[in-house]
Chains A and B, each alone.
Chain A
Amino acid sequence: MIKTRNLKKSFDTVKVINNINFELKPGECVAVIGPSGSGKSTFLRLINRLETPTSGEVYYGSQLITDKNIRLIRRKIGMVFQHFNLINNLTVLENLTLAPTSLRLLSDKAAEEKAFSLLRRIGLYNKRDSYPSSLSGGQQQRVAIIRALMLDPEVLLFDEPTSALDPEMIGEVLDLIRDVLKDGMTAIIVTHEINFAKEVASRIVFIDNGRIVEEGTPNKFFTHPESPRVKDFLSKVL
């Protein structure tokens, strides 16, 4: 569904992504873990071209992603950011309906209906006319997740969706992600929540210094890691 070939990214002279070959199959949920600054966010952002590769390619299905076709492809790739990135000057409802109506995928009425039903699902229907700043972090992130769902994406990218949250709000957000993923949604999730990764992922990818150092099923990855780098990392976080 998504494939990267010899993907590289440098900022100035600093190599941040160093030749990543990766494939995501439909229905897979890949958890990306690794130390801070290893390039996990950059890798995710290269996939929907929020960063342009220095060299190498990204494919969506069989289609090579370019500056020209990325806008249409982005509709199919939902993204959830670490800092939620709800639009400050729009209400919760407007945040949800902005994309489907601007892109003329749904009528105003249909978009609103859909937003209402998603808001009811997360129990925030009564916040529909509030501005993001009046919501808690957990509520904002849950709205951001359903905003991504408004376009019926085929893939979801999560970049540390809970690491900007107060501890007591992490649970509600993980519950929603779990719920979204349970019907076989294809996803990549960058996370520091090792236990959550273990639970929802079908595959773990460990990135260090811009390279995939090791990957495998959660069971194998956590119980029999091969690389010393991973062993070291796991001994610190588990």
Chain B
Amino acid sequence: MNNFLQKILELFTTQDYINSFLRGFLLTLEISFFAIIIGLVLGTIIALIQTAKPSPWLVIPKFICKVYVTIIRGTPMALQLFIMFFIIFSIRNFPELVTAFLAFGLNSAAYTSEIIRGGILSVDKGQTEAGLALGLRPFTIFRKIVAPQTIKNSLPSLSNEIITVIKETAIVSMIGMYDLNMAAKDIGSGQNMSSYIVPMVVAALFYLAVIYLISFAIRKLEKRLRKHD
């Protein structure tokens, strides 16, 4: 036990270790941030296409969205990352950070689209009809009625998805990227630490802290949106 505390102390006082952790932590945050943004934007677009009224020129986009969501949800994230990394973006000098957040963002978009689609479909039909009966334009109905209610309905699941993305980014260490997970492994294996358990526990606490903060913030937002229930 004494030894354990000593190691923790060592970890937080050795500049090299601190630098490694911060470097890894920063990469984890970068990949997560851009992946979540891509996931939300693309996921929303897919959901809008999928829930749009059928029309001849939406047949192909709707089909593409369906195939896309099916493939992404039906294959392992790690495999998608490998394919992106070693095949699609294996062009020389393509920044690996971009490859990574694209891989996670494109993956997250499929799940996000399902969440938002569900949120849109769960808005009571009477709400839209009230807007129609008042002569409002479809866009106004979407902006003033459907969108706010969809956001409120989807927020808990979106929060879940965001958390999942952050944790899942840990697999970039499998393709040799230096994220938080990799930093822990690196510190534990090499240099003078000679303990995996301490850096790994510390890395886990970093993940936990970020995720706790995010769920806390989203819960606050949820409460505010719930004031009209």
- Please tell me if the beta carbons of A98 and B134 are within 8 angstroms of each other in the complex: yes
Q: Is B95 an interface residue (CB 8 A)?
A: no
Q: Is A72 an interface residue (CB 8 A)?
A: yes
- Please tell me if the beta carbons of A50 and B133 are within 8 angstroms of each other in the complex: yes
- Please tell me if the beta carbons of B127 and A99 are within 8 angstroms of each other in the complex: no
Task: Name the segment of A77-85, A106-114, A183-191, A226-234 touching the other chain.
Answer: A77-85
User: Chain A's nearest CB lies how many Å from the CB of B124?
Assistant: 8
Q: Is A64 an interface residue (CB 8 A)?
A: no
Q: Is A133 an interface residue (CB 8 A)?
A: yes
Chain B residues with CB below 8 A from A87, complex form: 127, 130-131, 144-145
Chain B residues with CB below 8 A from A71, complex form: 135, 137
Q: Is B61 an interface residue (CB 8 A)?
A: no
Interface string of A186-211 (1 = CB under 8 A from B): 00000000000000000000000000
- Please tell me if the beta carbons of B130 and A86 are within 8 angstroms of each other in the complex: yes
Q: Please judge, given known A-B contacts A71-B135, A72-B135, A151-B135, whether A88 and B228 are in contact too, CB under 8 Å.
A: yes
User: Chain B's nearest CB lies how many Å from the CB of A96?
Assistant: 11
Q: Mostly helix, strand, loop or mixed at chain B's interface?
A: helix
- Please report which residues of chain A, range 94-109, place their CB below 8 angstroms from some CB of chain B when the two chains form the complex: 98-99, 102-103
Chain A residues with CB below 8 A from B140, complex form: 102
Q: Is A74 an interface residue (CB 8 A)?
A: yes
- Please tell me if the beta carbons of B133 and A89 are within 8 angstroms of each other in the complex: no
Q: Is A116 an interface residue (CB 8 A)?
A: no
Q: Is B227 an interface residue (CB 8 A)?
A: yes
Chain B residues with CB below 8 A from A8, complex form: none
Number of B residues, CB within 8 Å of A: 21
Partner of A85 from B127, B136, B152, B229 at Cβ < 8 Å: B127
A112 to B137, CA, bound (A): 21
- Please tell me if the beta carbons of A99 and B134 are within 8 angstroms of each other in the complex: yes
Chain A residues with CB below 8 A from B127, complex form: 85, 87-88
- Please tell me if the beta carbons of B130 and A81 are within 8 angstroms of each other in the complex: yes
* 25 A-B interface contacts by CB (under 8 A): A50-B132, A71-B135, A74-B132, A75-B134, A77-B133, A78-B133, A81-B130, A85-B126, A85-B127, A85-B130, A87-B130, A87-B144, A87-B145, A89-B228, A90-B145, A90-B228, A91-B228, A98-B134, A98-B136, A98-B144, A99-B134, A102-B140, A103-B136, A147-B134, A151-B134
